[in-house]
Amino acid sequence: MNLWIARLSGARDADAARVATLASEHGELLQQTRLASRQYVLFRSEDPAARIRQRFSLLPGIEAVHPIDTPYVLSSRGATRERTRVRISAGLVVGGAEFVVMAGPCAVESRKQTLATAEGVRASGARVLRGGCFKPRTSPFSFRGLGRTGLEILQHAGRDTGLPVISEAMDARHLEHVIGAVDIVQIGMRNALNYCLLEALGQHPSRPPVLLKRGIGTSLDELLCAADYVLAGGNPNLLLCLRGTLGARNQPSRASLNIADIPALRQRTHLPIIVDPSHVAGDRKLVPAICAAAVAAGADGLLIEVHRDPERALVDGPQSLTLPQFAGLMRQLRALASAVGRTMAPSAEQPPGIKGTDHAYDDLALERPPCEASHDPHETGVLGKAEV
């Protein structure tokens, strides 16, 4: 049986009901969903394609009807011609011309730490403050976040700095607390395929913006099918986040990010794509290059871990940037973003410690090519030994 999608340009329920009735006459009606200003009717049918097209195209409100040949449907490029733009707050949209950087500590640890980091990242041009409060940890005896107290701290820091905030919900029981406190609900790598949680976010009446991370061993098809669970409930406010998958043994990074996945995802979906370089890297030295690659490859934004004192961080210190390092990175990313036709928010002011020089983050600055060709006979160049 072929899977079909009918798209209606208006949001009129009567039009969608007529399409749904016709869909049941032709086969099996699967879903009727409203996403932003459009309605979608999904159905299966064995009828000839020409007959389906002819019958449906006569109905009022129909914009398109076509078969779907991918496992994912509503997240596919076939579902809508436009790229989805997710409105996070007044003046902040993800998925448009602006390249959006979200930054902050892995975990909310205290009021002071969160506010200091929030002020620092805002000054450098971050647009969203991150901070985990319900932390998924490998060991139950590690610091697992401040929970509801953390959410309250994060909310205050967001309000004080004027930044929208993002935090993770690990379980449907967290949703009532997290949704009310944050501007974006993060679904982490460990819950990438938790369909009950995704469905609950899809069906939530407030349609909260959701950032869905790809699982460590999840294919792009599975990621997009998981996205369908949110969209099918009627919540169009979805961001996808690449944070690396399992890589080779003894690799130098925590996970492995295939840069080709960024353009590949853009071809497959209309949803905005965020890259989390911190959980790919596991090491702050690798973060800037991953960020640069993400901008160049067409991502819509980044989610970066930054801590005012990474040595003392309770979670993910080794991969967290210091505030001066983040400030320097943002300056480089701004130049790169403009080179690929994206805008980025300006930095509000020079954060303390960088005073117009690049020295404070020199240890992390993107490596520049050498000015002169190397005369070292042992150097093999980027193509390896065959080039010598």
Binder of residue 270, out of Mn ion, ligand PEP, none (CB less than 5 to 8 A by kind): none
Binder of residue 174, out of ligand PEP, Mn ion, none (CB less than 5 to 8 A by kind): none
E-only strand ranges, the chain: 2-8, 27-35, 38-45, 62-68, 86-89, 92-94, 100-104, 128-130, 165-168, 184-187, 210-213, 238-242, 273-275, 301-305
Within 13 Å, how many C-alpha atoms sit on residue 204's CB side?
22
Binder of residue 104, out of Mn ion, ligand PEP, none (CB less than 5 to 8 A by kind): none
CA distance 330 to 336: 10
Cβ burial 78-106 (10 Å sphere, 16+ → b, else e): bbbeeebbbebbeebebbbebbbbbbbbb
As measured in angstroms, the least distance from the Cβ of 165 to ligand PEP is: 13
Instruction: Please report, as ranges, the residues that interact with ligand PEP according to CB under 6 A.
Output: 106, 132, 136, 188-190, 213, 243, 276, 279
Binder of residue 188, out of Mn ion, ligand PEP, none (CB less than 5 to 8 A by kind): ligand PEP
Both structure tokens of 62 = 């129909």
Of 284, 307, 357, nearest to 105 by C-alpha is 307
As measured in angstroms, the least distance from the Cβ of 211 to ligand PEP is: 9
Binding test (CB under 5 A) with Mn ion, winner from 316, 329, 361, 364: 316
As measured in angstroms, the least distance from the Cβ of 93 to Mn ion is: 26
Binder of residue 287, out of Mn ion, ligand PEP, none (CB less than 5 to 8 A by kind): none
Residue 303 near Mn ion by CB under 5 A: no
As measured in angstroms, the least distance from the Cβ of 22 to ligand PEP is: 42
Which residue's CB atom is positioned nearest to Mn ion?
106
Contact between residue 137 and residue 97 where contact means Cβ atoms under 8 Å apart = no
Nearest residue (CB) to ligand PEP, 52 versus 230: 230
Contact between residue 122 and residue 129 where contact means Cβ atoms under 8 Å apart = yes
As measured in angstroms, the least distance from the Cβ of 336 to ligand PEP is: 23
